[in-house]
Structure 1
Amino acid sequence: MASFAATVGDWCLKVPIAVEIVFKEAAQELVSQLDQLLADEVYAKPQPPGYKRTGFLRASLMASTSAMPTLSRDNPGVAVPPDLGDVILVINGADLGDTLYLGYTASYAAVVAYGANGTRPRPWVAMAAQRWQMIVDQKATEIKARLGL
């Protein structure tokens, strides 16, 4: 498997920080697209009868450089505003070469993503993951132009 630097391209070797910039900006864009896809695929759709929308699933996105976040938190049943600040802090604090884990901690996230009990799947995570290479390519192009390379 090629290194992240090799995936980005040889041009980044001219500016050592370029690979790290691409990595962090691509990860931030992935988070942005995860959030938008969740909003589009889940929150913009009609609610099932009797369902109380709280925003908890959206707010449960976590980032880590040590382990994958687990599906371990129950919905508190009250409105929870989304805040990606902690996720962005983890991304910005990551070192090049770190594995970045992004995951939802709402205990029902898998049910929403894969469907269950007659509900259709809403695979926003898989959809965003499929965009990773495109996101990296786009960010590499943007940063290459920004740095004048």
Structure 2
Amino acid sequence: MAESNLSFAAQVSEWVQAEKEREASVLRTAAQMVANNVRRSVAEGGRIPVDTGNLKNSLMASTSTMPRVDEGERQYPDQSGEIELIISNLDIGETLYLGFQTAYGPRMNYGFVGQDSLGRVYNQQGFGFVDAEAQTWPQTVKEAEAKVRGRFGAGPSPRTS
């Protein structure tokens, strides 16, 4: 941007556009970090228990509605590519919904003591993987901002002289 023949208004406009791009990049980077972190297994230092990988694979992203928990049990393929695509198109002001679709997802996150609708009895302690990730959102945004600034640089502000 540093051409001295640009008017101050043009410099400000260029700077504002660059800041908007950085802001969107911070949002997308932070959102992707959340999607990755919430699926990090206990063995990898995360909080989600992984046996078959089905719970982890059932994470879905949407910008229109919260993904619903499926009734019944089925196998989920890894949806990382779809999640990345949705996040890469996320705009400032849009809401990103991330949700696990497995019927047992809420039980694994929150825990459950009692009999389920199929008559099975559980005394399941929750792992809190969703809640733990939600609580770290401010730190995740700061980390994403540092990553973005490292990629784009801080960028000069318009000169006032």
Q: Same fold (TM over 0.5)?
A: yes
Taking structure 2 as the reference length, the TM-score comes to 0.71
- Identity, in percent, stands at 30
**Secondary structure at the residue paired with 2:123?**
coil
Out of 51, 64, 67, which is 1:66 matched to?
64
Which structure shows the bigger proportion of residues in strand conformation?
Answer: 2
Contact 1:57 1:109 in 2 (8 A): yes
Gaps of 5+ in 2: 1-14, 113-121, 155-161
Q: Which has the larger radius of gyration?
A: 2
User: How far is the alpha carbon of 1:74 from its aligned partner?
Assistant: 3.0
Out of 112, 115, 121, which is 2:108 matched to?
112
User: How far is the alpha carbon of 1:139 from its aligned partner?
Assistant: 1.0
Which structure shows the bigger proportion of residues in helix conformation?
Answer: 1
CA separation in 1, counterparts of 2:53 and 2:39? 11
User: Match for 2:21: what amino acid?
Assistant: I
CA separation in 1, counterparts of 2:78 and 2:87? 17
Match of residue 36 from structure 1:
40
CA separation in 1, counterparts of 2:97 and 2:128? 18
Taking structure 1 as the reference length, the TM-score comes to 0.76
CA separation in 2, counterparts of 1:60 and 1:91? 16
Out of 110, 133, 147, which is 1:128 matched to?
133
- Aligned in 2, Cα 1:38/1:59: closer, same or farther, shift over 3 Å? farther
**Secondary structure at the residue paired with 2:124?**
coil
Match of residue 82 from structure 1:
78
Contact 2:60 2:79 in 1 (8 A): no
